[in-house]
Amino acid sequence: MSYDLLIKNGTVVDGTGAPRRLADVAIKGGIVAEVGKVRDGAARVIDADGLIVAPGFVDPHTHYDAQICWDPQITSSSWHGVTSVVMGNCGVGLAPCRPNIHDIAAHDLVNVEGIPFEVLQRGITWDWESFPSYMDAARRRGSAINLSFLAPLTPFRHYVMGEESMERAATPRETEQIAALLREAIAAGALGFSHTTGVQHVGYKGRPLACRLADRAELGAYARVLRGLGKGVVEITLTQNFGHIQDHELDLLRFLLDESGRRVTWLAIFDRDDQPHASAETLERADSLIRRGGIPQMTCRPLIAEYELKSGLGFSMMRAWQPAVGQPPDKLKQIYADPDFRRAVVDEMKRGVFRRNWERVEFCDAGKAELKTLLGKPVAQVARERGRVGQEFEMVLDLAIEDDLNISLSQAVFNTNEERLAKLINDPRPLIGLSDAGAHVNLLCDAGYCTYLLGHWVRELQAITLEYAVKRITSEPADFFGLKGRGRLTVGNAADIAIFDAGTVGSPRRGTMTNDLPGGGKRLIMPATGVIHTVVNGVMVYEDGKYTGATPGEVLRS
């Protein structure tokens, strides 16, 4: 038998957790046809001697909902051996959408996911209205890697209720209409639906994101759509107290599990320096629900955030910061100069996760040449130099106003203690993912979490085995979301394959700023090292680390 592609002499780590083994992998018609000692020939042969041959990685938490319109390569994720992504998370997205409310849907992405409105105006193609037609449009455009979609609750409520979706719960009749649209989406292949209760999630004109107004009667109806179809999952953001799950959130999680009869994944597990036992306590409090399928997500990277002040999203996770969200630059300068605003934010910064250690917050960008000397310096050091000790935040806002709001900061917010984080990445209860890839484009880029896990945690720290690490980023997310035929390098599965050098694979702690968004918009990207070849559905997408231009990705349907 002659194969399409033969990967010879590699070390196979198959995604099941089984020990690595030397084996060849033969591919025919986009499917893994043989794993072992392959004696037949192939149209194309790759020598993987000294390399790891693994299933393509599956990223369960991305926000590429808009980016798929202008970037078929799906960067930065595809650089890192990721061959399948799940988008539509956190209850926010672009479908269904009536033609007269495109701006509302776009502004939700601006405020919740930190993507500039000008970028969305230039980049979104709007060649859909319903959710099934949104997925069909993605299929027609083509992509380098596989795309899968959760149905985000906010645009469904917009579609039925209009702007009142941001003001109140749905009536029984409206709930019935929304449920029917969800049923249509999930029957067409959406992986389930997503929701958020996060107070930082505000939408159009600074009003609460529409799904936050859904009451229990609504959510129960939507959960029962999954029960009725016998498929799909729920994704929900529970971040009212970062790193902790509260009693009412546990109750909501229990309610969704009961009503849907399906799995629920929730955000998020974070390790916090100020409360070092928080993650372990949260896992224990949620343990009975986790055993029922209420699976939390976590990232294996330190969450290094860059705070830019021009969009008003800089510290949008804080309640006191909300007056700045969605405001134009001239208005922002007034807000930043307001003593009452400053006082309220500083007061909140003194408490909990938002407490700032100004020695660990650095200036990372500035507009004016004379302020470039600040770059790389901790805020605390600059405050000492300028006689502003004890007024660090006020100094930052003064500098931002002086710099026409171009000043940016960076800080490692969560997951900085490697001893505790090593325990979490080996704990089987959380799902590793949470990259947020495609979102918060000027704030953070964790799209490289897979290569960071393999480089930093496996090779450098030897804190987790290679076999378990690969399982955590392949079969575990694929199984949770029901991505049949993905996540394992076994005969009969789709030929999604990441081939990497275990000695060099990795990604840096911080992203790199570039200006490659539509219209020259800025975003952080995360480069990869050591990912040699990537195969998607049997087609070479990256060869020797270079993109081939191929777009064999499929829209994966539940």
Q: Which DSSP string do the residues of 508-550 spell out, in sequence order?
A: -SS-EEEEEEGGGEEEEE---BSEEEEEETTEEEEETTEE---
Going from the C-alpha of 403 to that of each of 81, 102, 339, the distances in angstroms are 39, 33, 19
In this predicted structure, the answer to whether residue 16 has a pLDDT above a threshold of 60 is: yes
Q: What is the mean pLDDT of residues 46-67?
A: 98
Q: What is the mean pLDDT of residues 338-350?
A: 92
Asked which of 77-91, 223-237, 352-366, 521-535 is least confident by mean pLDDT, the reply is 352-366
Distance CA 334, CA 341 (A): 10
Share of the chain above pLDDT 70, in %: 99
CB distance 151 to 182 below 8 Å: yes
Residue 490 lies in a domain: no
Distance CA 485, CA 116 (A): 36
Q: Which CATH number is 10's domain given?
A: 2.30.40.10
CB distance 41 to 6 below 8 Å: yes
One domain, residues 116 and 193: yes
The position carrying tokens 């639906």 is 193
CB distance 152 to 88 below 8 Å: yes
Q: Quickly state the pLDDT bin for 429 (edges 50, 70, 90).
A: very high
One domain, residues 101 and 228: yes
Instruction: Give residues with Cβ within 8 angstroms of 264, minimum separation 6.
Output: 233, 234, 235, 236, 253, 256, 257, 293, 294, 295
Q: What is the mean pLDDT of residues 274-278?
A: 89
Give which of 241, 232, 242 is closest to 264, Cα–Cα: 232
> Of the candidates 360, 383, 413, which is a domain's last residue?
413
One domain, residues 422 and 532: no
Q: Quickly state the pLDDT bin for 447 (edges 50, 70, 90).
A: very high
Q: Which CATH number is 98's domain given?
A: 3.20.20.140
Q: In 197-237, where do the E strands start and end?
A: 233-237
Residue 164 class from Cβ within 10 Å (0-12 exposed, 13-18 middle, 19+ buried)? Answer: middle
CB distance 198 to 150 below 8 Å: no
Distance CA 291, CA 336 (A): 46
One domain, residues 200 and 250: yes
The position carrying tokens 């789709």 is 494
One domain, residues 153 and 259: yes
Residue 14 lies in a domain: yes
Rounded to 10 degrees, the C-alpha dihedral 190/193/198/203 comes to 60
In this predicted structure, the answer to whether residue 240 has a pLDDT above a threshold of 90 is: no
In this predicted structure, the answer to whether residue 238 has a pLDDT above a threshold of 60 is: yes
CB distance 375 to 363 below 8 Å: yes
Q: What is the pLDDT of residue 326?
A: 77
> Of the candidates 390, 413, 436, which is a domain's last residue?
413
Q: What is the pLDDT of residue 337?
A: 96
Amino acid at 62: T
Gyration radius from the chain CA atoms = 23
Distance CA 209, CA 93 (A): 11
Rounded to 10 degrees, the C-alpha dihedral 208/209/211/217 comes to 10
CB count in 10 Å sphere of residue 429: 16
One domain, residues 481 and 400: no
Q: What is the mean pLDDT of residues 499-524?
A: 93
- Domain with 312, as residue range(s), is 305-413
pLDDT digits (tens, 9 = 90+) for 153-179: 999 999 999 999 999 999 999 999 999
Q: What is the pLDDT of residue 121?
A: 96
One domain, residues 86 and 123: yes
Residue 138 lies in a domain: yes
pLDDT digits (tens, 9 = 90+) for 98-113: 999 999 999 999 888 8
Amino acid at 444: L
Q: Quickly state the pLDDT bin for 352 (edges 50, 70, 90).
A: low
Q: What is the pLDDT of residue 364?
A: 86
One domain, residues 351 and 452: no
CB distance 233 to 264 below 8 Å: yes
CB distance 498 to 81 below 8 Å: yes
In this predicted structure, the answer to whether residue 348 has a pLDDT above a threshold of 80 is: yes
Instruction: Give residues with Cβ within 8 angstroms of 282, minimum separation 6.
Output: 243, 244, 245, 269, 296
Residue 191 lies in a domain: yes
In this predicted structure, the answer to whether residue 355 has a pLDDT above a threshold of 70 is: no
Q: What is the pLDDT of residue 315?
A: 79
* Sign of the Cα pseudo-torsion (274, 279, 284, 289, in order): positive
pLDDT digits (tens, 9 = 90+) for 179-210: 999 999 999 999 999 999 987 788 888 789 99
One domain, residues 135 and 172: yes
CB count in 10 Å sphere of residue 81: 32
- The 8-class DSSP code of residue 90 comes to G
Across all residues in the chain, what is the average pLDDT? 94
Task: Tell me how many domains the chain contains.
Answer: 3
CB distance 216 to 259 below 8 Å: no
Q: Look at 79 and 315; give whichever has higher pLDDT.
A: 79
One domain, residues 116 and 249: yes
Residue 129 class from Cβ within 10 Å (0-12 exposed, 13-18 middle, 19+ buried)? Answer: middle
In this predicted structure, the answer to whether residue 44 has a pLDDT above a threshold of 80 is: yes
What's the order of all strands across the beta sheet hosting 303-308?
303-308, 408-414, 361-365
Identify any residues that bridge with 208 across adjacent strands, giving them in sequence order: 202
Residue 493 lies in a domain: no
Q: What is the pLDDT of residue 118?
A: 94
Q: What is the mean pLDDT of residues 268-278?
A: 90
Give which of 304, 545, 271, 249 is closest to 436, Cα–Cα: 304
In this predicted structure, the answer to whether residue 37 has a pLDDT above a threshold of 90 is: yes
Residue 119 lies in a domain: yes
CB distance 467 to 474 below 8 Å: no
Residue 363 lies in a domain: yes
Asked which of 347-361, 405-419, 450-464 is least confident by mean pLDDT, the reply is 347-361
Distance CA 34, CA 247 (A): 50
pLDDT digits (tens, 9 = 90+) for 290-311: 999 999 999 999 887 778 788 7
Q: ω into residue 268 within 30 of 0, thus cis?
A: yes
Q: Look at 302 and 133; give whichever has higher pLDDT.
A: 133
One domain, residues 265 and 187: yes
The position carrying tokens 């990721």 is 82
Distance CA 493, CA 12 (A): 15
Q: What is the pLDDT of residue 351?
A: 73
In this predicted structure, the answer to whether residue 353 has a pLDDT above a threshold of 60 is: no
Per-residue tokens: 283? 């896992």
Label the pairing between strands 512-517 and 497-500: unpaired
Residue 543 lies in a domain: yes
One domain, residues 63 and 38: no
The position carrying tokens 């159009």 is 204
Max distance between CA atoms of the chain, in angstroms, equals 77
